[in-house]
Every structure is written in structure tokens, then in C-alpha cells.
Structure 1
Amino acid sequence: MRLNSSIKEVKGIGDKTAGLFLKINIETIRDLISYFPRTYVQFPEIKHPDEVVEGETAAVIGQIRQTPVVKRVRSMQITVTSITGMGKRLELVWFRLPYIKNSLHPGGTYVFYGKVQHKNGRFVMEQPAIYTPEKYEAMEHLLLPVYTLPKGLSNQLMLKAERSVLEEEHLFRDYLPTELREKHQLCEYNYAIKQIHFPDDMETLIEARKRLVFDELFLFILNLQYQKEKKEKEKNQFSFQSDDFVEQLIEKLPYKLTNAQLRALSEVRADMRSDYVMQRLIQGDVGSGKTIIAFLAMADTAHNGCQSAIMAPTEVLARQHYESFQSMCEIFGLDFPVILITGSMTAKQKKLAYQEILDHPDALIIGTHALIQEKVIYQNLALVITDEQHRFGVKQREIFSEKGTKPHILVMSATPIPRTLAIILYGDLDISVVDEVPAKRLPIKKLCGGHQIPSESVPVYRKRGGCRSSGVCDLSVGGRKREHGGRECHRLCEAFERGTAGYD
């Protein structure tokens, strides 16, 4: 039996059953043994009827005293019998299984496995599985795999098919060399496959899972790396000067950039002057100073006669960037136009913004998803920045990047992503990590006040003169709650004495 053979080569699987397996994408022997259990059931120790507790799944041993009775309720046949122990009676019920009567003989001792319920003053076990004491003892404490299956395909049939295939001694050739397996304490692949389906105990199950998890991540990352190397790098069509313009701006800053900020900025500037288009992710916590890196990169782009655009996930953040960038242009004495485009702007305001973009090839453009609308026509767009990557889909990112002639792509995220995970999530991007917080930056404090922020909490924030505070009021629900949220937002602004209310 080969791995690529049809599943119909397994004994007991015909065309009809193969059609059921196809519903879970199992067509070949390889598909079958690669379809892992979703959980495992461990058979408990055998109990007597007087030991059972309501709600538990138990294995109860008892002797059948009388031949089971088959009752007919409407069109349903119900088979009923019972076992007793120490004066306690357990009723056993099977629905639509009249043949059970012929399987249970008076005087015979059996083990019944199922869930115990308490109905109408008596203990009942419905649809219990039936075992001989010898057979159950052989299964006791074993981990029985349970699979996610479509209607018509039983777990018992799945077990039978898996066992039939796994009887082969060596199904796979292990691609990992022995020294690498020993280094990472990984078991052999064929052993892992057999133990994941039919583990000897919990320890071997954990060992098998460790190997299969390693393989899944290793092959995924290997494929990402392969795709990244196979993908032809796009030529950089922009020519940026290698001068000290950005260094001069940094000297004018009222604070000193951290080493992490300088490192990330240096990597961005080097990418924009390389032979190929930049594809970079900057990851840093809130307050680590990613925005100044974005501004300096956009200013560098404008200095070289090209447009740049940054797309924020919300209008509040877009307006915050707009006001911040305008202020920094004034501080640095830069004559670059800063243009804002958001969805809430009127048609007239948008039309004026579109014209400004056409008139200024060195503009710094800020906005939300409105930046990727068809009506926006850019002039020499060289740098595209998306703030908070997780709020944008891949398609949106592609549309934005296609607005220019192969512009440089910079993605910023405050989501804490371990480097290994970042490589997996953003396999097509180079990664810069801003892992230092600027000096004298106060820690971020969060306050949750439900639907109404208590007035007594406001002085806590007002005491910290010169600090920025923000409140979020829920306006997502229509009607009176929205009106209440609006009033609460304006009340906060008045409490902070200087503030603006924004809706998003």
C-alpha cells in the first residue's frame, strides 16, 4: 500500500464510504494518516451500579438477570434492561437498536460504558457501549482517539481504517537527520504518526505531538523562506540623495532619539537607497516612537521630490498624525504640504485635497482607507506607510502599493510580536524592532469606567501637567446610548479643560 494510493484500497472502504471521506478532504492513504484526532478519551476504571454518580461518564459492570425488553413508542423501538448492585439499580436504554436484545444473555456479565443520568427518580444510562469484562480490561486506561467526522462516518470506522494502514512498518522516510532529532529531542516520524493516532500513554502522546508540531512549523517557515527567495525583487525606480538632511532634522528635535529608533530609521533610509524596493515592518510598543520614524522617512521622501502617504486605521489617528506632522513641519521650517483625506470629509473637501495631491509632487499625505479610492491620483508616490498592519487586509495593502510606480512599503505595528512569530506572519517583510522607550516617557495608564467615567477619576489625570490623556466612549450602539456616549465624550473634554472630541 503506497501513500498516494486511493483510500478505497483500505479494506471495508467502498465508493460510498470514500465519498464520505472526501467531505473531509481525505482521498489518499497519506491524507488518512495525516488526519489527526481532535481529542482523546481515556476509559475509566470499572465501577459497580451502587458507585455511579449523576453526570459522570462511567464503565459499570453488572449481570443481566432477564432478557431485555423491546418497547415500541410511536414508531420508535426502545430496548430496556437493567443491572443492580448493593440495592442500587441502573437502567440501560437503547433507542432504535432492537438487535441489542440478542447480544445480551440472561446470566451474562457485561461492562456498559456511557453517561449516567438521573431521570424520574432513577439512574439511567442511554445508548451505552457494551464490552465483555476481558475486552474492557484490555482497553482500560488506553487513550482512544476521537476524530471530527461528517454525518454518516463513524469514529469506529475511522479507527478501523487508521489501524489497517498503520500496521505498515515504515510508511514515511524521515527527512530529519538523526543528529538533528537528537539535538532537539524529537522522536522518529513514523513513531510519531502511530503514537498520535494510538498513543500508549500520555507521555508518548506528548512526545509525538512535539515532533509533529516541529515539522509543521519548520516546513511552513521553510516554504515562506523559499517563496521569499523565489519572488523576484522589484527594482528601485527612485533615486534618493545621500546627504545629511535627516541628520539635520534630528538635531533640531527637542529630545534625543533612542538607539532603537536610530537603528530602525537607518534601516529604512538604507532600503530606500538600495537597488530594490523596500518591504519592511517596524514593530514597537505604544510610546516607543514609531511615528517620528515615519515622519522623518516621509520628510526624506519629500526632500527628494517624491510624495509619501501614511494610512491609519481610524480617522482619530489620521487626524492626530495630520496635526502632529503639520506641527513638526513648522518646527523644522519645512515647506512640504501636509494633506489629509478621510471618509467623513465632504465631497468639496475631498475634491480640494485631490487637487492638492496633483499640484504638489512632494506632499506628505495622511488618511484612512479613503487613500485607496480610485479618485485619488498620486504624483510620483515613492513611500507608502500603513499604521497598525493588523487592521488592513492583504488586498488593501496591495491596492495601496499599486497607487504608485512600485513605491517603498513600510508597515508599522504596536502589536507585540516575538521575532520568530513575526517572521511567520510577515515572511515577505524585513523586520525592524523598536525595543526602547524614549527617556522620561511616563508609563501608559489605563482606566475602565464602564458606560460612565466617574468624575472623581479626572483629577488623577489632571495632576500630571503636560501629559496627554484620552478617553474612549462607546458610540457603537444606536439610539439613546449613542447620545449618552457623545455627552460623556464632551464632558471629559471639559473636565480636562483643553481637549477636543472626535468621532470614529
Structure 2
Amino acid sequence: MPETENRTTLTPDTPVQYLKGVGPKLAQRFEKLGIRTLADLLQHYPRRYLDFTHPYPPAEAPVGVECVVRAQLLAKQGGRYAAGGRRVEKATAGDDVATLELTWFNNPYTIQKLEIGQEYYFQGVVAGGLLRRQMVNPQVRTAAQVSAVPLIPVYPQTDGLNSGAIGRCVAQLLPHAELLGDPLPPALLQKYRLPSKAQAVRDIHTPATPQAAQEARRRLIFEELLVLQLGMGLLKNRGSASTGAPMRRADPAPFWASLPFAPTGAQRRAVDQILEDMAGPRSMNRLLQGDVGSGKTLVAAAALWAAVGAGYQGALLAPTELLAQQHAETLNRLLAPFGIRVALLTGGLKAAARRTTLAAIRAGEADLVVGTHAILSEGVEFARLGLAVIDEQHRFGVRQRGALAEKGASPHLLVMSATPIPRTLGLLIYGDLDISILDELPPGRTPVKTRVMGGARRRDLYGFLDREIGAGRQVYIVCPAIEEGPDGGLAPVKTYYEQTAKALLPDRRVGLMHGKLKPKEKAAVMEDFRAGRLDALVSTTVIEVGVDVPNATVMVIENAERYGLSALHQLRGRVGRGAAESWCFLVSDNTAPAVQNRLRFLCSTTDGFAVAQYDLETRGPGDFFGSRQHGLPTLQIADLAANTRPLHAAQSEAAAILSADPLLDQPQHRLLADQVARMFDRAGPMN
């Protein structure tokens, strides 16, 4: 076992369990935070600080806000036991103007250390009136402690491992911060006036001033974004190899002529861009981004038609069996007039059917293979794969794109996403892809009418649902949870199904779907709804992606404030797929102005790109990137939306570095290459 006190034995890859005071059990808790090695721990950055550098006198402390109050301890009371067995300790601090009443629960040790007449810094949330303030369970520090450590880091934490414990472990390592090495070339440090990596790591964990913390963050954000952009650039370079599927520029006129409707201008433009790429000397690497219902599948069908027409096979990867089956049906309908043979490959296939399908793919008898992750598995061999299409790109990691591409010799790649992202941000995030955008809806799509309402009107709403069902329509009802949350405020979907939906629609056929059902059970419920054997479907957000039921005309979203606007927009897109008037009801009892303004904004537009921009400006990127940022590596400190200036700079520098060293194999870029490998190794596939 290495001794962490002996610096010569420390490496960035030393397991965190060998750190003094950690051991195997605590190491398991660290692993929940993604911390396995000493390098991971040093790069587990604080999310904020408790700032003791600007204390308030008691009378001026803001009420209801976390702050620091500097006051003299005036009195201490003896401890007592309150109802429920909790021990209560009380003290009074203050100055010549006002007092601060202090209360601690089950913490006799803090008050024992305090001395009457001494001045202290109390950190917490202030309550009460102007002259008599209160603070419960404050953190207490002396002037000497504040002078030594003015800003206390607050870390992302987990059960059994709080921020203080993490900070103590980090403090042991800070003298060894040089272990990480500095991946940024000296020229970049000088150009952007950045501190060294070791200095930035020390200052992010134990800043002497707020300015030091800010400078450390600036350096570490730039480094992380540069590593991200280098990784994306390497992927693009890898994907832009000489194509293994050379073909002439196809004329899409025969495909358009086969349709019983006219494509939109946006669809025509996207297909032209794709066909131009596929006729080029390098493999296509393109993202097709379109709002809900914009017709991405039709564009993919045109591309697959062209690839098969040029003598190649096509593959389409979908995230669920349900969506794969739906795509297979749609593509078969669109491509059957050209004699194109479509095969379905999912994990649910029986052994005999799977063997037959695999043989057809291997022999080139299947022109187009539509499937789930099963397409990526061993034993799936294409005779001549020319075009790979990935639907719902955010459900797959960047590695899975490569795995599909490896099924052929540098095939063309088209990835599709129904989550709108503001264009300038999308160009930066998807640095390894060219982008086509579908910004028109096909004719005949009636915009969905959206309304906000409180839960008190639920009975009236269900009366409307009953009338819609009576007119032959179907409805979705979405709940945000399977089980009650810790606040007890969310009805679990099963309870809602039994006590609300079935009770208020007693004569209707109501189904239930949620993420804990087995895939076959989900498929059976969804098929019953698609076939019209269910009138209403109570569901969690598992119905968000790709489900197409033209007869569904109403979407009810309970606890709508729990979702980002982009998620609500995606759910709204499940209705309005036929010619009938369609509705989306956002049910929320949260009357906070910010919540109501967000929900009313969604009522004012059906433009997914406008929705995404609003979410970006008001709530940050999490609502439409999700925790895994659409299959990209998880970022430790950078924010793709808030840090656009360093993102632009990082993209420019990454392009310059890769222009001079396309594979990052020059000695001066070794540490950068290691960082890229480590970042993208952490980016597993999304589920």
C-alpha cells in the first residue's frame, strides 16, 4: 500500500482509498461522485464558497438569505430537550444596535467552545425583525480562522460524505497539486494570462480572495473547454477520412415524386446538403436537428434511398424497441415502392429470427437495417454499409457513433436530434459535426394550443378529456415521478393512476406506463394505445421520445413546474400529429411569478428554438442538455451556455493545435492528449 506522505509514491492514478483516513468503505462513497483516483479528487472542484470576507452587522443582515454576521457573544443558555427528544442549545450575540438569537439542535459542542465577550462570525440564514434577528444551526468561526481561510469551499457531496469531509481529504493533497502536470502550452498561459495548473487547483480549493478563486476558475474552465474541443476535433478528423462509400450525386426528384405530399423547403435543403456530402471525397458527418414534427424521418429516408440506390446498405439506430419498430414501419412504407428491403433488429428478437436477420444483413439481402443497440453487438456484419443514421442523438454517447461507423469502411454518418439548441451554441457543442436544421413544419400540422391551470380545476379538465374521448380522440396524462419524493409533494404515478385518472374517467379505458416496466410490458401498453384499445395513457416521461399516435389530441402534464421548458415542449409534441385541434394543459399549483412566467412563455410559442433560447437565458443549459450534455463527456467546471467566450477561444485554439498536430502525438501535446483520452473515457453511453 503506498504511503501518501511519501511524495515519490504518489501518482495521479493512485486510488483514493490509499489517502490517509479514507480506506475502502469511504472510497466507495467517493466513487458515487466519480472520484476514483487522487487526480479525480484534486479535480473535484467546489460548486460555491461560504464567503466570510463581507460580514454584516446584525441589523443589516438580509432576511431569508444565506449570509455571514459578525457579532459579539452576549449570553449562553443551558441546553434543554424539546419535543421529539432533540437537544436545543441557545445563545445571544449582538452589537450596540441589534441582537442575534442563535439556536443549535443536537450540537452541544459548538456552544461549549464559545466565550462570552468574544467576537465571532456566524454563517447561516437570518430570520426575524429589524432589531431581533435569529439564526438556526449557524457555522461559527473566529477572526483568526477567517483570516487564515476566508472562503470555505462547498463541494458536491453524497450520502455519508459531506462537503467538510471532502475538503479535509482535498487539503491533504494540495501540497502535491503539481502531480497533475500542466497540459496547457506555455504560449497559451502567456496569451490568456492564466495561472499554472497547480496554482489554479490550489486557488480553486483554498482561495485567499474571491479574485483568486475567479482567476482559478477562468483557467480551469478554459482548459476543460479546450480539451473538449480537441476531443471533438479528433472525432471529426477521424470521421472525415476518405469515404468508404463513394457515390455519385443523387437526384432526389424520383424520391420526392413518390410521396403523396410535398416536402417542406427545409426538408429539401437538408436532403440537398446530405446528398452533396455523400458524393464528396470524405465521409459525411452531419447532424440533422429539427423541432418536434419537422419531418426528420423523411429526410433520413431520402438519404437511405440514395445510399441503397448507389449499391450500399443503410442502418438506422433508435434508442428504444418501440421507436425502432415505428421507424421500420415508416421507412418500409416510404421505401417499398423502390423495392428496398427493410429488416428490424432488436434485442427482443427470438433466436431463430435473429439468425435469419443476421444472415440477410451479412449477405446484403437486407438493404436497410433498423434497430436498437442490438445493431452494435458482435455478430452483426454488414456486406457493404454505406450510411449509418442515429436517431435521438442525445440518447447515445459519442463512442456509440464510432461503434456504428466501425460496422463499415468509413460509412457516411447522419445523426438526428429533436431537441432544439440555439444555433450558435449548437455549432460549438457539436464541433465534430456539420449541421442541418429543419425549421419548418409540414403543411397540415395544426399548432397545439397550450394553457396553464391550477390543480383545483382538475375535475373540469377531466370533463374536457371525457368529451374528447367521447369524440373518438385519445389523451396523454404525464406525471413526473414513479415514487414520492422526499418532500412528499408528488403523487406517485401509480397512485395518480388509481385515485385520480381512473376515478375521474370511470367509464374509459385508462392505461399505465412508466420506466420500471419491462421493455415488453412497455411495448404492449404502447401498442394498445397506438391501436386505439386505450382511451387515455397515464405515463411518466418515457413517452417523450418519438412516439407517434396521430389520434392523440390532448396532453396533460401534472406538476409542470418540475420540468424545463424544452422538456415540456418535447412532451407537447406528442399531440398535434393529426389534422384535429390539439391541446396541452400545464397543471401547476406553484404560483411563484418566475414559474408562472416560464409556463406562460410556453403558451405563447410553438417554436422549439425560441423555447430553447428562453431556457438557456433563464435557467441555463441543463434543461436541454441534461446531466450528460447529449452524450458528450460530463464537464467538471465549465458551463457550455454561460462560458461562451472561453468556448469560442477554446475552439479557435483547438483548431490551431490540430492543424499543426492532427493526432496530438507531438511531445508538447502529450499531456493534452492524455486529458482528452481521460475525458472521453469517462463519457459512457447514455441510457
TM bucket normalised to smaller: 0.5 to 0.7
Residue aligning to 2:286: 281
Contact 1:40 1:146 in 2 (8 A): yes
Q: State the shift of 1:414 in Å.
A: 3.8
Aligned counterpart, 1:461: none
CA–CA distance in structure 2, aligned partners of residues 317 and 413 of structure 1: 15
Equivalent runs, 1:89-488 vs 2, <5 Å:
90=101, 93=104, 95=106, 97=108, 101=112, 103-105=113-115, 108-111=117-120, 113-115=122-124, 128-132=138-142, 134-135=143-144, 138=147, 142-148=150-156, 151=160, 155=164, 158=167, 162=171, 165=174, 175-178=184-187, 182=191, 185-189=192-196, 192-199=200-207, 201-226=209-234, 236=244, 242=248, 246=251, 249=254, 258-270=268-280, 278=283, 280-286=285-291, 290-291=296-297, 293-312=299-318, 314=323, 315-326=325-336, 329=337, 334=338, 336-339=339-342, 341=344, 354=357, 357=360, 361=364, 364-365=367-368, 367-369=370-372, 372=375, 380-392=384-396, 408-416=412-420, 418=423, 427=432, 431-435=433-437, 445-448=447-450, 473=476, 480-482=509-511, 486-487=534-535
Cα RMSD over matched residues?
Answer: 6.1
Query: Deviations along 1:130-159, whole A, 9 cap, x unmatched?
Result: 545x5478589x533223467578738936
8 Å Cα contact 2:61/2:67 also seen in 1? no
Q: Which amino acid counterpart does residue 110 of structure 1 have in structure 2?
A: E
| Secondary structure at 2:221 match in 1 | helix
Match of 2:640 in 1: none
> 1:268 Cα deviation (Å)?
1.6
Counterpart secondary structure, 1:246: coil
Q: Pick closer, same or farther for the CA change 1:174–1:306 going to 2, 3 Å.
A: closer
Q: State the distance in 2 between where 1:95 and 1:294 align.
A: 63
What are the ranges of 5 or more consecutive residues in structure 1 without an aligned counterpart? Answer: 8-13, 459-469, 500-504
Amino acid at match of 2:254: L
- Of structures 1 and 2, the one scoring higher in RCO (CA 8 A, sep 6+) is 2
Structure 1 55/340 Cα, relative in aligned 2: closer, same or farther at 3 Å?
Answer: same
Q: Give the paired residue count.
A: 451
User: Cα 1:346–1:2, aligned 2, differ >3 Å: closer, same or farther?
Assistant: closer
More helix by share: 2
Larger Rg: 1
CA distance in structure 1 between the partners assigned to 2:289 and 2:255 by the alignment: 20
Q: 1:410 to 1:443 in 2, by over 3 A?
A: same
In structure 2, how many angstroms separate the alpha carbons of the residues matched to 1:4 and 1:194? Answer: 20
- Counterpart residue number, 1:462: none
SS in 1 for 2:448: coil
Conservation of the 8 A alpha-carbon contact between 1:310 and 1:366: yes
Q: Alpha-carbon deviation of 1:207?
A: 3.7
Equivalent residues of 1:341, 1:371 under 8 A apart: no
Aligned pair in 2 of structure 1 residues 50, 69: CA closer, same or farther (>3 Å)?
A: farther
Q: Following TM superposition, by how much is the alpha carbon of 1:178 offset from its aligned partner in structure 2, in angstroms?
A: 5.0
Mean Cα deviation higher: 391-400 or 295-304: 391-400
Task: Name the counterpart of 1:11.
Answer: none
Q: How big is the shift at 1:174?
A: 7.8
SS, match of residue 46 in structure 2 = coil
**C-alpha displacement of 1:299:** 3.1
Change (3 A) 1:433 1:471: farther
Distance 2:137 2:69 in 1: 13
- Contact in 1 for aligned 2:63/2:127 (Cα 8 Å): no
Deviations 1:80-121 (A, max 9, x none): 5633668968355574655964x4455x333262547999xx
Residues 202/362 of structure 1: CA separation in 2 closer, same or farther (3 Å cut) = same
C-alpha spacing 1:146/1:415, structure 2 compared with 1 (3 Å): closer
SS in structure 1 of the partner of residue 535 of structure 2: helix
Deviation at 1:40, TM superposition (A): 0.7
- 1: CA distance, partners of 2:86 / 2:362: 83
Secondary structure at the counterpart of residue 279 of structure 2: helix
Contact 1:284 1:433 in 2 (8 A): yes
Aligned CA distance change for structure 1 residues 456 and 34 (closer, same or farther; 3 Å): same
Q: Structure 1 residues 307, 261: CA separation in 2 closer, same or farther (over 3 Å shift)?
A: closer
- TM-score, normalising length: structure 1: 0.62
What letter matches 1:187 in structure 2?
A: L
Distance in 1 separating the partners of 2:238 and 2:225: 20
Report the CA distance shift for 1:452/1:322 in structure 2 as closer, same or farther (over 3 A). farther
Change (3 A) 1:53 1:144: same
What amino acid is aligned across from residue 369 of structure 1 in structure 2?
A: T
